[in-house]
Amino acid sequence: MNIIRFNRHELFNGEWMKFHSATLREVENFYLDKNESWFNEVYNMLCGVWDGYLYTEMLESAKQLGLPTHITDRIQTTIQFIEKGIK
C-alpha cells in the first residue's frame, strides 16, 4: 500500500471540503441502500484524505468493491486534484 502525504489544510478550500464530504455520503448511501455497512478499506482511505493521506490504490479498490461509476468518478476527480496540487 503506497501513501502520498499532503497538507489537506493548504490544498482544500471550502468547495473541495464539500465535494469530498459529498463523496463520503455517496458511499454511505450506496451501502445503506444495500443494507450493508460502509466501513471498508475504501471508506477508510477516503477518510484518510482528511488527514492528508492519499492512498494510491484507492480508485482501483473502489472499482473492485463494485462502487458505481458516479462514485468512482468523484474519487478519481479528488485524486487528480490532490496530485495536481502537490506537484
pLDDT of 29: 98
Residue at 21: amino acid letter: S
Global pTM reads: 0.95
Q: What is the mean pLDDT of residues 49-73?
A: 98
48 touches 55 (CB < 8 A): yes
Tell me which residue of 37, 38, 33, 24 sits closest to 71, measured CA to CA: 24
Q: Is the pLDDT score of 56 beyond 80? A: yes
pLDDT of 35: 97
Give the span between the Cα atoms of 56 and 1, in whole angstroms: 7
Q: How high is the mean pLDDT of the chain?
A: 97
